[in-house]
Amino acid sequence: MASKAATKRLGKESVLMEKDPPPLCYARPKDDNILEWHFILRGPPDTPYEGGEYWGQLLFPSDYPFKPPGIKLQTPSGRFQPDTKICTSMSDYHPGSWNPAWSVANILIGLLSFMCTDEMTAGSVMATQRERRTLAAKSHAFNVAQRKFTLIFPDYAGPSVKDLPNMSRPPNVATTEPSSVQPEETNEANDSPWSWWYPACSRQN
């Protein structure tokens, strides 16, 4: 059960999400559980995820915002293992690095930025850019075949993918251009303006 602080904070964040959603991101809580949020990310232009629609969950603890949420992606992406918690500095893998001032919007923009790198962490998978583009093209069909997605996002469950309320590109989302360099040999994540967000444990993988 959500604490009064969590209910108040998440209620305010829900209102803000509807009023001013972040670029390429959208989220809403379940009607019967404010601690379980579902989100959609759209793949940024010039990345292997372009055109993709990625559905996932933020699983907030009862004492949010004093502790971070768990983060999962359900849609196969070639970047994260479906239905598996993702290790980031904003997730419950690293409660010591959590800042209560961070919002749902911060978490989603950070996740999208991290998705567009090849930094490995718990919950990550390896795939080629071609495989990721193929999965991006199939992502909407996967989502609408999931009953939970259609119940939570009936307005996005039509036969074709629908734009999110804010389709502008976040200024700090890193891109991964086609390259033959292997992920472990690139400095791409370290060069990103969002590198502070990447999990410390990823350096060990």
Q: Where are the domains of the chain?
A: 4-154
Q: Where are the beta strands (DSSP E) in 16-69?
A: 25-30, 33-42, 53-59
Evaluate the omega torsion of the peptide bond into residue 65 and state whether it is cis, within 30 degrees of 0.
yes
Q: Which two tokens stand for residue 180?
A: 């033959």
Each residue's pLDDT tens digit, 5-32: 999 999 999 999 999 999 999 999 999 9
Q: Which two tokens stand for residue 100?
A: 């209560």
Phi-psi bin for 174: left (phi > 0), alpha (psi -120 to 50), beta? beta
- Name the average pLDDT for the chain: 86
Band of the pLDDT at 123, cuts 50, 70, 90?
very high
Q: What is the mean pLDDT of residues 142-167?
A: 97
> Is residue 116 annotated as a catalytic residue, yes or no?
no
CB 46 within 8 A of CB 31: no
Return the pLDDT at 94: 82
Q: Is the pLDDT assigned to residue 68 strictly greater than 70? A: yes
Return the pLDDT at 60: 97
Band of the pLDDT at 55, cuts 50, 70, 90?
very high
Which of 25, 87, 116, 201 does the annotation list as catalytic?
A: 87
- DSSP assignment letter at 43: B
Each residue's pLDDT tens digit, 72-99: 999 999 999 999 999 988 888 888 889 9
**The listed CATH number (3.40.309.10, 3.40.50.300, 3.10.110.10, 3.40.630.30) that belongs to domain 4-154:** 3.10.110.10
Distances (CA, A) of 167 to 68, 126, 202: 27, 27, 29
What are the strands of the beta sheet with 70-73, ordered from one edge?
25-30, 33-42, 53-59, 70-73
Q: Is the pLDDT assigned to residue 202 strictly greater than 70? A: no
Sign of CA dihedral 22, 25, 30, 33: negative
Phi-psi bin for 27: left (phi > 0), alpha (psi -120 to 50), beta? beta
Largest Cα–Cα distance of the chain, in whole Å?
51
CB 72 within 8 A of CB 57: yes
